[in-house]
Amino acid sequence: MASKRNRRSIRHMAEELDEDRPGRRGGSLPTVDLHGCTLDQARRRLAQELTRWRAGGVTRGRVVTGSGFGSPGGKARLAPEIDSWLRGEGRAYGVTEVRSVPGQGAFDVTVER
């Protein structure tokens, strides 16, 4: 078992690696969680967050929609609609790239300043 000192240094190294990733600040990616939102609510909330991210100089963020496990039939309803919105209307909010995060029910989004 690692000593307390070793655990701290391992944690510190992990935080440093995380901070070196592009778009990361302080080791965390800004996130907007849209679980439980209707499609209209999700679009409004996402537009607000993208505006906030751009104003704050954030260039990368994560949009969580969920995988659809709680939806009737277990099929995601929000994810495909938000993906389409980000690639279309999202451009007006500075979205330049959208990548699905496999198995996470989320998208990583790149935003221009």
pLDDT digits 0-9 by tens, 74-106: 677 899 999 999 999 999 999 999 999 988 899
**Can you give the pTM of this predicted structure?**
0.72
- Quick one: CA torsion of 20, 22, 24, 26, rounded to 10 degrees? 30
CB atoms within 10 A of CB 36: 10
Could you tell me the domains of the chain?
Answer: 4-111 (3.30.1370.110)
Question: Regarding predicted confidence, which is higher, 5 or 91?
Answer: 91
Give 22-80 pLDDT, tens digit per residue: 444 445 899 999 988 999 999 999 999 999 999 999 999 999 998 766 666 767 789 99
